[in-house]
Amino acid sequence: MIWSLVKIILFVCAVAAIALGAGFLLESQGGVQVVVAGTEFTLGPLESVIALVLLVFAVWVLLKLVGAVIALWHFLNGDETAITRYFARNRQAKGFDALAEGMMALASGEGRMAMTKAAKAEKYLKRPELTDLLTAQAAEMSGDRRKAEQSYRKLIQNEQTRFVGVRGIMKQKLAEGDTATAMELAKKAFALKPRHAETGDVLLKLQAQSSDWAGARNTLHTKLKTGALPRDVHKRRDAVLALSEAKQVFEADQTIEAREAAIEANRLSPDLIPAAVMAAQAYIEQGNKKYATRVIKKAWEAMPHPDLAATFAAIEPEEDAAARLKRFQTLTKLHRDHAETRMLLAELHIANEDFPQARRDLGDLFETDPTARVATLLAAIERGEGAPDNVVKGWLTRALTVPRGPQWVCENCLHIHANWQPVCENCESFDTLAWIKPPMAEVAMPGSVGMLPMIVGNPEPQPAPDLAMIEDAELLDPDAPDDPTENQRT
Ligand SMILES: [Zn+2]
């Protein structure tokens, strides 16, 4: 506001000054006399000033002309000038346009078009690190593997783009199934960029697949150091790897190292069931029952699990049912309402031939959470209490039609495993097995009445034919050996 005012005042002052100056010149005497080729010009004061201004303008135009001629001369000589710069800018603009079009084509899935545009961009831009990348991706999209690999190899030569090149070829080798080469490339890429999460995961997966547990633990440790992995995930995965290492050592019968590794795994992740089981087994072998009990108790505290109960039973293989029931109180007093604890108690009471107590332990478990295990336990209780055969068989057939309860399920592909393992059998993912209920996608089975209508469906007891079911029921006999959960888990 004030500045505008100042400008207006200055302008008015300037106009006034010019008017004053012109008036002064008009009124003043004298002038300039110029003689050109014998002719004399006499200029008044105002004319002299105008002539001076014109002269200055003429000199300026002359200088510009000389500059243009010099630039033209340089251009013809091939030197860099404003003219060449103009053309270079033009070429660059065309190159970037082609690059942008290529990227658009890539994004819309037109591989061939993207390759053409990349070639055009390369011609104008001469920036191979940009255009090679586009070419490689376009070639891969249109299925031209050779061209893609060529472009990735070019990228490897440039330090700035080396990682992209290595990663590209690694992905190609993975797709081809050449895991050995892929692993070498993954190691190289991981060394170039340890913070790159995807490369780390690929390397880890490849190492786990090839049972290179020590290498995988190294990778995991680097990931932790570079902050690419949260500490708790690292702890769990490292425990899985330590456990796998121990498993491998077990197979080679090197028990001392195995024991230590298994215990180490257990220390890092006490809630990991397989680690606890292996550690406890190592202690049992050692004759250290106290530590074995401690390990299992700690794991049961984290999560009740049939594998833990089986291992806990194996600590005292010779004891009778009553002694076992007493010893198991260490576990059963924890998580009293957990389904696993209730089923364990029922089993222990069935073994002790206290069937009414076993029934009380199960309570309404079949109504709230029907599983094959509960139905089988109920069949055993009915049989122990002397119920008619059709009632027992009714429970056994029901066991076939209800969900099977939690299993070791791969969270990635939902494949069900009989035993825990570090790498999924089906999709080869690392550390994806979890103890969860598989989604119900089982074959539709007729209900128990539909399956055995002559036996289960008839209210009158019938002379039963000799079915395999009866043998199954006998497997549940109270004298079952030291693994109380085995029959129900298959
Ligand atoms: Zn899987």
The C-alpha atoms of residue 366 and residue 369 are separated, in whole angstroms, by 5
Whole-Å CA distances, 326 to 29, 293, 319, 334, 337: 135, 14, 11, 14, 18
Task: Place 258 in a pLDDT band, splitting at 50, 70 and 90.
Answer: low
In the predicted model, what is the mean pLDDT of the chain? 82
pLDDT of residue 341: 94
423 CA → ligand 1 middle, Å: 8
206 CA → ligand 1 middle, Å: 14
Q: Is residue 464's pLDDT more than 60?
A: no
pLDDT of residue 483: 43
Q: Which residue has the tokens 């997966």?
A: 205
409 CA → ligand 1 middle, Å: 8
205 CA → ligand 1 middle, Å: 12
Least confident of 35-39, 146-150, 209-213: 35-39
The overall pTM is greater than 0.85:
no
427 CA → ligand 1 middle, Å: 4
Q: Is residue 247's pLDDT more than 80?
A: no
The C-alpha atoms of residue 211 and residue 241 are separated, in whole angstroms, by 9
Q: Is residue 289's pLDDT more than 80?
A: yes
424 CA → ligand 1 middle, Å: 5
Average pLDDT of 245-262? 64
Share of the chain above pLDDT 70, in %: 83
Helix (H) / strand (E) containing 409: strand 407-410
Share of the chain above pLDDT 90, in %: 26
185 CA → ligand 1 middle, Å: 24
Nearest to 349, CA basis, from 360, 358, 340: 358
The C-alpha atoms of residue 335 and residue 318 are separated, in whole angstroms, by 26
23 CA → ligand 1 middle, Å: 100
DSSP for 48-102, written as a single string: HHHHHHHHHHHHHHHHHHHHHHHHHHHHHHT---HHHHHHHHHHHHHHHHHHHHH
Q: Is residue 447's pLDDT more than 60?
A: no
338 CA → ligand 1 middle, Å: 28
Task: Place 311 in a pLDDT band, splitting at 50, 70 and 90.
Answer: very high
Least confident of 14-28, 334-348, 399-413: 14-28
The C-alpha atoms of residue 244 and residue 216 are separated, in whole angstroms, by 11
Q: Is residue 281's pLDDT more than 60?
A: yes
Nearest to 300, CA basis, from 341, 260, 268, 266: 341
425 CA → ligand 1 middle, Å: 6
Task: Place 179 in a pLDDT band, splitting at 50, 70 and 90.
Answer: confident
pLDDT of residue 177: 87
Which of 241 and 312 is assigned the larger pLDDT? 312
489 CA → ligand 1 middle, Å: 20
442 CA → ligand 1 middle, Å: 18
426 CA → ligand 1 middle, Å: 5
430 CA → ligand 1 middle, Å: 8
Q: Are 409 and 438 in contact (CB under 8 A)?
A: yes
Q: Is residue 176's pLDDT more than 60?
A: yes
CB-facing half-sphere around the CA of 274: CA atoms within 13 A: 22
428 CA → ligand 1 middle, Å: 6
352 CA → ligand 1 middle, Å: 40
Task: Place 298 in a pLDDT band, splitting at 50, 70 and 90.
Answer: confident
DSSP state of 34: E
Q: What angle do CA 181, 186, 191 make, to 5 degrees?
A: 130
